[in-house]
């Protein structure tokens, strides 16, 4: 059950990103923030984009993902990616500092 729950969240997160990519192709001046869970995703759009345009973008994003355009599932400004990258960089830096202190003679 846990695996299917995680899989659903990942699929919805990918569709959220793909939808933002599709919207970006037709609209240049907007900002979007989304949240995904096992039931779907929600988008907060800041700009002149109608609900019908968002619905059409979701449909197109889904179709394109199913057709193999998997690159749409990753977005460079994703908060999850940014936080994960920052956490891993911090962990690496702390590890290096700890090793430096451990190796120094007392």
Residue 96, both tokens = 């290096």
Paired with 24 in beta bridges are none
**Which distant-in-sequence residues (6+ apart) come within 8 Å of 104 by Cβ?**
none
How many other C-beta atoms lie within 10 A of the C-beta of residue 38?
13
Model confidence, pTM: 0.76
Share of the chain above pLDDT 70, in %: 98
Domain ranges of the chain: 2-74, 76-106
The 10s digit of each residue's pLDDT in 60-105 is 999 999 999 999 999 888 887 778 889 999 999 999 988 888 877 7
């Amino acid at each position: 059950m846990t695996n299917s729950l995680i899989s659903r969240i990942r699929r919805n997160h990918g569709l959220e990103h793909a939808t933002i990519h599709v919207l970006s192709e037709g609209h240049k001046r907007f900002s979007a923030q989304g949240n995904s869970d096992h039931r779907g995703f929600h988008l907060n759009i800041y700009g002149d984009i109608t609900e019908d345009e968002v619905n059409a973008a979701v449909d197109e994003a889904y179709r394109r993902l199913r057709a193999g355009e998997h690159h749409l599932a990753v977005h460079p400004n994703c908060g999850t990616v940014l936080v994960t990258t920052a956490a891993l960089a911090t962990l690496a830096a702390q590890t290096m500092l700890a090793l430096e202190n451990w190796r120094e003679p007392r």
